[in-house]
Amino acid sequence: MTQFIGTSDIRTLLRHTGLEPFLIGLAGYIEADFRRWESFEKAARLASHSRDGVIELMPASDGELYAMKFVNGHPGNTAGGKLTVTAFGVLADVSTGYPVLVSEMTILTALRTAATSAVAARALARPDSRVLALIGAGAQSEFQALAFKALLGVEEVRVVDLDTEAMDKFCLNLATSGLRIIRAGSVAEAVDGADIVTTCTADKTRARVLTPDHVVPGMHVNAIGGDCPGKTELHPDIVAGASVFTEYTPQTRVEGEIQQMPADFAVIELWQVLTGKAAGRRSAGEVTLFDSVGFAIEDFSTLRYARDLSRAEIRDIDLIPELDDPKDLFGLLAAQSPKWAMIAASTAAGSTRQSQSPRPLATPSGSPNT
């Protein structure tokens, strides 16, 4: 049977584990998989762009397990009461090709994006970073704040959004988180004195959410909202002046902030820093930029983590037929449904008659042959 993790299962799981311990554990899985980066089969995601957004397929495999996530990004959705980003994923056994897990990934994507941001910041931000500025208070924002608290010891979050109701929601959701939450009146106010800046806005345009006057020496910028061709958040001079770190560079060159830079603009991949193959931050005054677009290995790690955590309580779904005779797929239908039992019986009778006097058999509409 294929295992299934739905939205309600994730909510139950998170109630058991607690959000911050979950994020710490997830960050461990992501970091472990980034450390064995070279053993993965990797590809840039397959994106289908439309006027209003994008639908993407994100595959990754380590040769034993294969993961695939379906995810969308529709910045206009919230105006109609829908999420900007939704997702679900599949984990399959490479040796048989069988899906072993199907999971919701809308909540898991928010968690994995936050955990990845924190893994990157732990490697790139100044170790004494305690103040986070968050530009954008949408669906991802609370997860970002909690991951930075849990993994970096961030104590204060300054939040700003064009939508004051989104800021109200953010402040209410994190009122008992232990973080000092400050509502900022502008981006300039939010970033003033911040050690780390996360940009997580949604707009299908070349936005300039952060401009060079917002960035000071020693800052770490975690840019997650620029993740599609023509959808960026940073002024290009910020990118040009920073040390830039990426997930999977061929994908980031098309989708990330560096789409604004020449094709040979120098970047370092995060896995190289995590494995010690490349330096991360080299001085306290350096400006580091994690140009995050979200990569399939993060979803691979997340599905693996969710399955390992919830193994005991996980539900089964009958996604793949279970057969006594794997060549008798048709027989499964006959055994389960009186209708198909009759069809199978009449087909069997027909083939007996056919052998006596050849004539074509009528195929009922909706036949399993189609």
Q: Which residues are catalytic?
A: 227
Point out which span in 6-14, 196-204, 262-270, 342-350 binds ligand NAD (CB under 6 A).
196-204
Q: E strands within the chain?
A: 2-5, 41-42, 46-49, 54-61, 65-73, 87-93, 99-104, 131-135, 156-160, 180-183, 196-199, 206-210, 220-223, 232-234, 243-246, 268-269, 288-291, 315-317
- Pick out residues in 54-73 that bind ligand NAD (CB under 6 A): 73
Q: Which of 292, 306, 126 is nearest to 217 (CA)?
A: 126
CB neighbour class for 42 (10 Å; exposed up to 12, middle 13-18, buried from 19): middle
Least distance in angstroms from the C-beta of 78 to ligand NAD: 5
Point out which span in 7-15, 58-66, 138-146, 273-281 binds ligand NAD (CB under 6 A).
138-146
Total binding residues for ligand NAD by CB under 6 A? Answer: 30
Point out which span in 97-105, 288-296, 334-342, 351-359 binds ligand NAD (CB under 6 A).
288-296
Least distance in angstroms from the C-beta of 348 to ligand NAD: 54
Angle made by CA atoms 149, 246, 141, in degrees to the nearest 5: 35
133 is an interface residue for ligand NAD by CB under 6 A:
no
172 is an interface residue for ligand NAD by CB under 6 A:
no
Per-residue contact track with ligand NAD, 111 to 130, x per CB under 6 A? --x-----------------
Per-residue contact track with ligand NAD, 13 to 52, x per CB under 6 A? ----------------------------------------
Looking at the DSSP bridge assignments, the partners of residue 87 are: 71
* Residue 270 phi, psi (nearest 5): -55, -40
Q: Which is nearer to ligand NAD, 70 or 330 (CB)?
A: 70
- Cα gap 192→118, rounded to integer Å: 21
Residue from the set 44, 105, 107, 202 that interacts with ligand NAD by CB under 6 A? 202
Least distance in angstroms from the C-beta of 97 to ligand NAD: 28
Residues 6 or more apart whose CB falls under 8 angstroms from that of 276 comprise none
Least distance in angstroms from the C-beta of 114 to ligand NAD: 9
136 is an interface residue for ligand NAD by CB under 6 A:
yes
- Cα gap 104→8, rounded to integer Å: 9
Residue from the set 27, 139, 191, 196 that interacts with ligand NAD by CB under 6 A? 139
Which residue in the shown chain puts its C-beta closest to ligand NAD? Answer: 138
**218 SS3 class:** coil
Q: Are 305 and 299 in contact (CB under 8 A)?
A: no
Strands 315-317 and 2-5: antiparallel
Residues that bind ligand NAD (CB under 6 A): 73, 75, 78, 84-85, 109, 113, 135-141, 161-163, 166, 200-203, 207, 209, 224-225, 227, 292-294
